[in-house]
Amino acid sequence: MNRRQFVTRSVAAAAAAVLTGSDRRADADQVPGSITSSEVQQARFPDGFLWGTATAAYQVEGAWNEDGKGESIWDRFTHTVGKVKGNTTGDVACDQYHLYPQDIALQKRLNQKSYRFSISWPRIQSTGTGAPNMKGVDHYSRLVDTLLAAGIRPFCTIYHWDLPQALEDRGGWPNRDLAGYYADYAGILAKHLGDRITIWAPFNMPWSFTYMGYGVGAFPPRRTHLGDFFKAAHTVTLAQAQALRSIKAASSKATVGSAYGMCPAYPKTNSEADRAATARYHAMNNVFFLEAAMHGRYPKAFVGEPPYELMGFKPGDEKIMHAPLDWVGFHYYTRRVISDASNSRSFGGGGFSGTEIEADAEGGRDPYTRFRAVMPTEGPLTEAGLEVWPRGIYDLVMQISREYNNPIIEITESGCSYLDAPYDKENGRVPDTRRIEFFRKELAELARAIADGARVRSFHAWSLLDNFEWASGQTERYGLIYVDYRDQKRTIKDSGHWYGRVAASNRLDM
Ligand code: FCB
């Protein structure tokens, strides 16, 4: 299908505002989905825009068993032979547990204003419950102080997938008791760090870790039961709200939002069935947890009623899960094209693409949501296999702005994996021009959304530095800074220098 046919067949079915943008770009000289160079030149970000980067504890810290840290489900998974590409682990990762002063100095050098990091739950409570391990708390306290001294906002993600193994042994997220344990853990963090941290995101990509961990077994704890997925998702919804309350009880400065993974979704055809399936995808994969927090109900993700029984939903839960967020945070990597799978008899799971997973086996993911989600390959692919589609961030930001009353938005992650390495002939420089192009076009689309009224106040590039990419191990490199894992040497890539100039000038044309 050529670009024009694609625009007609799929994007045409999206909102009128989006359509106007698509048409304007239909003859752009660049790759499909791309913005024109004059728009890149004109793009400006507002004064005070928070330029940042993001990482996650397990992916960068290392020190997996130091200072009283307990085992997490990711430690268990990576220590099992055959689970991770290249048989690498996060035991050392980027050694940021020890090298954080250096990593913060690098951020300062790149004019950064926000650092989104996550806290490792088993560092704070080795088995997930009980009194805090003060060595773990003190580590994060020092990290926060060092960030503040460098003029960088500490943005804390409370949970980025490293569940204490002891809690998995008690049933994991499908066990509703975890909501309470998690809220206690969040309260401990707010009590000890809430005098300095003002911005908290309870969960990184809740749909992904519940579905990949419990529904299809791609991630630890590798369970493959749809009922476990729905139960886990419901526990996480309750946990998100209970944590919001315990954080606010412990810290009067706290604001609480999210770090959801989202993909703008476009119907495959203009048929009513495909458009309805696209709405279900959006409800399930993008706003399931957001809608629960904002309105105390699940969105219409299902072809009938939500499977309440399967979820372990109890009367009164709608009140518990209602905890409106102060701002809305989400990631953008790529998009999806959706079709209806209602008439198909097989409901297998299975399609994997890059950092995300969709059941793109015939029949879609499950008998309840009944859609088929596919990542198109009309645009160029990154080395992680994700389609580059700059316009997606504009569409997504505008859609969330429309649907949630124009909230404050934080872009919590976005980035691309390319394997460029230091190049001797260039004095060790890393000339990663594809990453610069990726960010330049995407950020121009983000600037366009801001110009059109979206209240976006930050952008966090994934990632500050190359790191341990989950089941892909060290085979993907998302960093603005290159890491040589043999000696932990950091080299700022050309994209890092460029991003530093963007942060200093609020413009993209340099
Ligand atoms: C996101 C994850 C992050 C990293 C990037 C590439 O989905 O939140 O940890 O894996 O993808």
pLDDT digits (tens, 9 = 90+) for 145-186: 999 999 999 999 999 999 999 999 999 999 999 999 999 999
Ligand 1 proximity of 478 Cβ (cutoff 6 Å): yes
| C-alpha span between 58 and 160 (Å, rounded) | 8
Ligand 1 proximity of 462 Cβ (cutoff 6 Å): yes
φ and ψ at 85, to 5 degrees? Answer: -60, 130
Among candidates 164, 347, 209, 190, which has minimal Cα distance to 254?
Answer: 190
Report the pLDDT value the prediction gives residue 365, as an integer from 0 to 100.
57
Under the banding of pLDDT at 50, 70 and 90, the label for residue 216 is: confident
Report the pLDDT value the prediction gives residue 345, as an integer from 0 to 100.
53
Per DSSP, the three-state class of 261 is strand
Ligand 1 proximity of 466 Cβ (cutoff 6 Å): no
The pTM of the whole model exceeds 0.75: yes
Ramachandran class of 399: left when φ > 0, alpha when ψ lies in -120 to 50, beta otherwise: alpha
Residue 351 has pLDDT above 60, yes or no: no
Q: Can you give the length of the chain in residues?
A: 510
Report the pLDDT value the prediction gives residue 341, as an integer from 0 to 100.
83
Residue 468 has pLDDT above 80, yes or no: yes
Ligand 1 proximity of 388 Cβ (cutoff 6 Å): no
Report the pLDDT value the prediction gives residue 396, as an integer from 0 to 100.
98
| C-alpha span between 480 and 417 (Å, rounded) | 10
Average pLDDT, the chain: 91
Residue 221 has pLDDT above 50, yes or no: yes
Under the banding of pLDDT at 50, 70 and 90, the label for residue 368 is: confident
3-class SS letters over 338-360:
EEECCCCCCCCCCCEECCEECCC
**182 residue type, one letter:** Y
User: Mean pLDDT over residues 24-32, rounded?
Assistant: 50
Atom 6 of ligand 1: nearest residue by CA position: 355
Report the pLDDT value the prediction gives residue 27, as an integer from 0 to 100.
41
Residue 31 has pLDDT above 90, yes or no: no
pLDDT tens-digit readout, 51-74: 999 999 999 999 999 999 999 999
Q: At what angle do helices 177-193 and 226-250 cross, to 10 degrees?
A: 30
| Cα(394) to centroid(ligand 1), Å | 20
Residue 21 has pLDDT above 80, yes or no: no
220 against 3, higher pLDDT: 220
Atom 7 of ligand 1: nearest residue by CA position: 355
Under the banding of pLDDT at 50, 70 and 90, the label for residue 510 is: confident
Report the pLDDT value the prediction gives residue 499, as an integer from 0 to 100.
98
Q: How large a percentage of the chain has pLDDT more than 70?
A: 89
202 and 412 Cβ atoms separated by less than 8 Å = no
Ligand 1 proximity of 205 Cβ (cutoff 6 Å): yes
Per DSSP, the three-state class of 267 is strand
Per DSSP, the three-state class of 256 is strand
- Residue 288, C-beta contacts closer than 8 angstroms, at least 6 positions apart: 206, 207, 233, 237, 298, 299, 301
Tokens encoding 225:
């039961």
332 and 396 Cβ atoms separated by less than 8 Å = yes
Ligand 1 proximity of 103 Cβ (cutoff 6 Å): no
| C-alpha span between 209 and 211 (Å, rounded) | 6
User: Mean pLDDT over residues 174-203, rounded?
Assistant: 98
Tell me how crowded residue 47 is: count the other CB atoms within 10 A of its CB: 6
Ligand 1 proximity of 261 Cβ (cutoff 6 Å): yes
| C-alpha span between 5 and 337 (Å, rounded) | 14
| C-alpha span between 45 and 287 (Å, rounded) | 26
User: Mean pLDDT over residues 277-301, rounded?
Assistant: 96
| Pairing status of strand 255-256 against strand 352-353 | unpaired
Report the pLDDT value the prediction gives residue 16, as an integer from 0 to 100.
32
Tokens encoding 410:
């934080």
6 against 343, higher pLDDT: 343
Residue 358 has pLDDT above 60, yes or no: no
User: Mean pLDDT over residues 119-133, rounded?
Assistant: 98
341 and 279 Cβ atoms separated by less than 8 Å = no
User: Mean pLDDT over residues 274-286, rounded?
Assistant: 95
| Cα(5) to centroid(ligand 1), Å | 32
Provide the β-strand partners of residue 409: 328, 456
| Cα(1) to centroid(ligand 1), Å | 30
Ligand 1 proximity of 413 Cβ (cutoff 6 Å): yes
User: Mean pLDDT over residues 325-333, rounded?
Assistant: 98
Provide the β-strand partners of residue 267: 338
| C-alpha span between 43 and 141 (Å, rounded) | 37
Tell me how crowded residue 412 is: count the other CB atoms within 10 A of its CB: 28
